[in-house]
Amino acid sequence: MEIEVARARAYSGGIPRLPGASNMERDPMQSEIVMIGTELLLGQIADTNATFLGQVLAENGINLYQKTTVGDNPERIKRALESALARADLVLTSGGLGPTEDDITRECIAEVFGRRLELRPELVEQLEARFQRIGRPPTGNNLKQAYAPEGAVALENPNGTAPGLLIEDARGIIIAMPGVPRELKPMLKDQVLPFLRKRFNLSGLVHYRVLKVCGVGESAIDSAIGHLIRDSANPTVGLLASPESVRIRIAARAGTKREAEALIDAVAGQVYAALPGLVMGVDDETLEGTVAGLLRERGWRLALAETYTGGMMAQRMSAAGAGSFAGGLVLPPVPCAGVDAAGRGRELAEKARDQFGAECGFASVFLEEEAGQALAVLITPQGVQEWGLRFSSLGEAGQLRAAVTGLERIRRHFLGVSEPEW
């Protein structure tokens, strides 16, 4: 079924533009997603579909304007759909296409478009064939899934009984998909994306690279590379902070992945220059994996003696440090009041190193008389290094940050990276 080309909307940022492309290619259409299901609002299930849809839309150069989550209420669903159509060219929905009484997405879509529901003989045949394959008869309510709004295109669902729906009027397009991830993902990949690529001439792609920085605050990074964020067009640059790291996302739109990589390389080089030695990994690389790799390069193994980090460093190294992590001691957070903290740290580092037969020993101790401050000691075949550290609390969040800081200091030491003057 041929569908008229939707009107182009003004570009609002987020997705880089493709140089030298047509207006349709240069200005990605706006999209919204509407996630339907009371179970999502109650937190009974995690909304993994929204994450997946956002990633796929971005990778294909489609600008996601807004996400709405709404329960199984007909009036609220209709309002959500009408509002989305008023803002976006494309609205993708997930959920509410099943056979039960609270599955009302198709009915709401029909009302929003002013169309009646019609029984489709071909959908009846698909339902019957599906139940025959699984060896059980359909119940009466399954027939509900054979209805579709007038003029809607039914999308085949080989992994379930609920077909998807594609419908349009002058306001835009709604594509409704099942809420079950194993049904939604192949439908999006095999049917929805080919339609969108052809319809909106999505010849290019968007490719991402994520650079990770640990032990430096988001504001400090913004001060160093803010001009790249502010002035970026293609590639675009953005920051995302988490308790473990600050992620620098570089996204490029191009005709091929190779072309996108070349654009990213140029900007990534500027990031590395602005943050010398501070980028600890790229994409899926982890801090503990990086430290383990540096140890393996030197033929060393690391032993740990942890106090206020609660064993989090050992946990991470044991998962990533095959052949480089010897073992760890987890000790109660006894403060070093009135004690030579440096001496105590070296003592613990040596104890861990000797006990596990490692070349390197690392210990962390905290100082009661200086609240919020701690000391880390690293002993290697090349000598002893000490650092003053800060921590916010002895709770889980504080332990996590302290563990990440400790591993990051080890990484920088092995690479000879100076501490930033921030």
Secondary structure (3-state) at 211: strand
- Residue carrying the six token digits 């101790």: 365
Separation in Å, CA 269 to CA 71, 162, 211: 46, 48, 11
Look at residues 280, 217, 211 and name the one whose alpha carbon lies nearest to residue 422: 217
The single-letter code of the amino acid at 185 is: K
Q: Where residue 18 falls among pLDDT bands split at 50, 70, 90?
A: very low
Cα–Cα separations (whole angstroms), residue 175 to 9, 106, 163, 196: 18, 11, 11, 11
Give the model confidence (pLDDT) of 328-352 as tens digits: 998 877 666 656 777 888 999 999 9
Domains of the chain: 23-199 (3.40.980.10), 205-282 (3.30.70.2860), 287-415 (3.90.950.20)
Phi, psi of 7 (to 5 degrees): -70, 145
- The mean pLDDT value for 217-225 works out to 91
> What residues does 249 pair with on adjacent strands?
210, 238
The whole-number pLDDT of residue 109 equals: 98
45 token code pair: 């299930």
The DSSP code sequence of 46-111 is: --HHHHHHHHHHHHTTPEEEEEEEE-S-HHHHHHHHHHHHHH-SEEEEES--SSSTT--HHHHHHH
How much is the pLDDT for 422?
Answer: 55
Summarize the confidence of residues 3-31 as an average pLDDT: 42
Mean pLDDT of 90-108: 95
Cα-flanking dihedrals φ and ψ of residue 199, to 5°? -65, -45
Alpha-carbon distance of 52 to 248, in angstroms, equals 20
Closest to 85 (Cα-Cα) out of 9, 28, 192:
9
Residue 4, pLDDT > 60, answer: no
Report the pLDDT value the prediction gives residue 25, as an integer from 0 to 100: 39
Express each pLDDT in 263-311 by its tens digit. 999 999 999 999 999 999 999 899 999 999 999 999 999 999 988 788 8
Query: Closest Cα to residue 346, out of 380, 373, 319, 323?
Result: 380
CA distances, 161 to each of 105, 153, 187, 220 (Å)? 15, 16, 13, 52
pTM above 0.85, yes or no: no
Instruction: Please state, in angstroms and rounded to a whole number, the distance separating the CA atoms of residues 183 and 281.
Output: 34
Mean pLDDT, all residues of the chain: 86
* pLDDT class of 187 with cuts at 50, 70, 90: very high
Q: What is the pLDDT of residues 295-305, one digit of tens each?
A: 999 999 999 99
CB 207 within 8 Å of CB 261: yes
Between CA 31 and CA 93 the distance in angstroms is 11
**Count of residues in the chain:** 422
